[in-house]
Chains A and B, each alone.
Chain A
């Protein structure tokens, strides 16, 4: 039995429309210790889950492959996942595809691209960068360095990502391609576990990476890297992590699932409030969670970046958007944008039916059912992405989910041709 919240949100104290059954319901959630696990962690530590009658048990893991498998094999009921993971699962991609649905987005933002100090200094010299340039200028400068290196007979540079089906993979590729760099031919992409990125960078194993917070700032504070782009530069509303669930679990536990969505919604709003960011940083710095110094986390959460070891600063107020502007709403069009990138980079073929499958991985219907009618809930499940200024893509492209082929052609790709 599901329950529906009605009426206007009244500050987190609304009681569910149906009476809670006695005793709390246990939900086991797998997570990776990253800043964007904040909503889950806050839901446990600040009582948002308990208030909905849910005993949320968080289980820390080390790899997305483990998260995927342990969800599939019922060791977890729900999991903190990369937004492209449910899409990949619905398309049968990866080594253990098993159905996953995403009814709630855990926020937008948190990623950045960092290059090694040596590489960035070369870009500065060659393209006369002062350090204040935008992400697109930086990408074009990198292209010039890549061309010169090729003429010098040097190996292609190596860049790290987190997982083949990750926002990091698609964002890094988007940024490279926007600068005229072919991510498959001009550079080598490898997976590096985020906590190892700054070590790998300083050891020269990689020349740069695209990962989530706080690892970019860690590399800068250790003096080994420079941040050349943040997610907001590439596509601000891009969904980062989601809550993934097995569809059969939700079917059998729809009320618990709906209550969990409500709890996450409350926790998300709390995390999003600037006044709570200090407390959130303190919580996340705990060894049980991220085990990263408080000061660094606090600055990351406020979007106050040191982008260069010389001390160049940049403030990105929306670096972490946990809740505002319907940040938790799972847009079907965004699942389909992820699909378009999978097609663009040859992970899967294009067909209208696959586009439909990809879109069905995100479940706005379950979100609406749990949250109820609220002024900040979008009216539609799908939209044209990138048409406004707030949601613009780095290169100004516009994504119409109704015409993925034309979109891919506009990006110079023929992969979308049937």
Chain B
């Protein structure tokens, strides 16, 4: 029986790291270690001797790892992830997702690829979540600003809430702009005019 691969995840983003960890555990990898802090990383690598290190490509700390591998004889010779250069689509996917990895030399590609694919897909899922969260936040902001604009119109023009909203919507349609933009103008104008 082949020994289970030992996988180390280094990501300063704790949430993303735990998402990847969870994915790997679900896929049956139980030797997974997650590190968030560069302090002590070198020592952890020496102690654990991981077969695969997954690292966030946006951290400048990758250069620290390069130095460590160059210096330390006790660390088994790792190579950067893109071992199979013919597989350019998966290289692109990894770089786009923001993942890099180091793999102990000699490890069979078939054993590593599922791990990397998992990391890449989880990185992507995380970016998608972040994107959705950002969109949800901005929707919430828009909602708030529209409510404020409605309040201003209701007070200054003695309108009902429905009338105020209709006016905002009609103006937005006439000017081919978003309701939130019109609402923002109303709020800004009100602030300038001190009403």
Contacts and interface: CB of A to CB of B under 8 A. Distances in A.
Interface string B60-102: 1111111111110000001110100100100110010000101
A63 B91 CA distance: 17
A163 interface: yes
B77 to A, nearest CB: 8
B83 to A, nearest CB: 9
B82 A64 contact: no
Interface string B168-195: 0000000000000000000000000000
Contacts of B88: 73-74
B67 A69 contact: no
Q: What does DSSP make chain A's interface, helix, strand, loop or mixed? A: loop
Contacts of B78: 95
Which of A72, A75, A93, A95 gathers the greatest number of chain B CB atoms within 10 Å? A95
Nearest to B65: A65
Contacts of B79: 95-96
A74 B85 CA distance: 11
A390 interface: no
A190 interface: yes
Given A69-B82, A96-B80, A62 B69 contact: no
A93 B70 CA distance: 9
Interface stretch (A191-199, A213-221, A379-387): A191-199
Contacts of A156: none
Given A65-B80, A95-B102, A96-B79, A191 B85 contact: no
B100 A190 contact: no
B57 interface: yes
Contact of B63 (A96, A163, A205, A347): A163
Nearest to B105: A95
Contacts of A164: 66-67, 70-71
Interface string A317-346: 000000000000000000000000000000
A66 B39 CA distance: 21
Which of B39, B59, B71 gathers the greatest number of chain A CB atoms within 10 Å? B71
Interface residues of B, number: 27
Nearest to B60: A193
A193 B61 contact: yes
Given A73-B82, A75-B95, A163 B60 contact: no
A195 B60 CA distance: 9
Contact of B59 (A62, A163, A190): A62
A95 B100 contact: no
Interface in A153-191: 161-164, 189-191
B135 interface: no
B58 interface: yes
A196 B60 contact: yes
A60 to B, nearest CB: 11
A64 to B, nearest CB: 5
Contacts of B57: 66
B69 A95 contact: yes
A311 interface: no
Nearest to B102: A95
Interface string A46-76: 0000000000000000111110011011110
Interface in A344-358: 347
Which of B60, B70, B85 gathers the greatest number of chain A CB atoms within 10 Å? B60
Nearest to A32: B60
A191 B67 contact: yes
A63 B59 CA distance: 7
A75 B91 CA distance: 10
Contact of A69 (B39, B60, B80): B80
A12 interface: no
Contacts of B64: 190-193
Given A73-B95, A164-B71, A347-B70, A95 B63 contact: no
B184 to A, nearest CB: 25
Contacts of B59: 62-63
Contact of A65 (B39, B58, B62, B85): B62
A255 to B, nearest CB: 25
B108 to A, nearest CB: 18
B11 to A, nearest CB: 14
Contact of A70 (B63, B70, B95): B95
Contacts of B71: 164, 189
A118 interface: no
A156 to B, nearest CB: 14
Contacts of B68: 191
A192 B67 CA distance: 10
Contacts of A7: none
A75 B88 CA distance: 10
A21 to B, nearest CB: 27
A63 B82 contact: no
Nearest to B96: A75
Given A73-B82, A73-B85, A73-B88, A65 B66 contact: yes
Given A63-B60, A96-B80, 17 more contacts: A62-B58, A64-B66, A65-B62, A65-B63, A65-B65, A65-B80, A65-B100, A66-B100, A73-B88, A73-B92, A75-B95, A161-B67, A162-B63, A163-B67, A164-B66, A191-B64, A196-B60
10 contacts: A63-B62, A69-B80, A69-B100, A74-B88, A75-B92, A93-B70, A94-B70, A95-B102, A163-B67, A205-B39
Interface of A: 62-66, 69-70, 72-75, 93-96, 161-164, 189-193, 195-196, 205, 347
- Name the 3 nearest CB pairs between A and B, nearest first: A193-B60, A96-B80, A191-B67
